[in-house]
């Protein structure tokens, strides 16, 4: 079953993106390096609660 998660920038803490993850195979928080339009650069985005 795929679960919808929201990704937030680790520097400015804005919630910029949403994505899906497989909750059976991935137990930890999802981390993806994406572009943050508020910071103006590529930063690490982490799954929020």
* pTM (two decimals): 0.83
The three-class DSSP label of residue 37 is coil
Q: How far apart are CA 48 and CA 3, in angstroms?
A: 13
Gap between the terminal Cα atoms of the chain: 18
pLDDT (0 to 100) of residue 26: 79
Q: How far apart are CA 11 and CA 19, in angstroms?
A: 19
Band the pLDDT of 1: cuts 50, 70, 90: confident
pLDDT (0 to 100) of residue 24: 85
pLDDT tens digits, 15-34 = 999 999 998 887 889 999 99
Tokens 């497989």 found at: 22
Q: What is the CATH number of domain 2-47?
A: 2.20.28.120
């Amino acid at each position: 079953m795929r679960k919808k998660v929201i990704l937030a920038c680790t520097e400015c803490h804005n919630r910029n993106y949403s994505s899906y993850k497989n909750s059976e195979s991935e137990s930890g928080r999802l981390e993806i390096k994406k572009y943050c339009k508020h910071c103006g650069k590529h930063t690490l985005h982490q799954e929020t609660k």
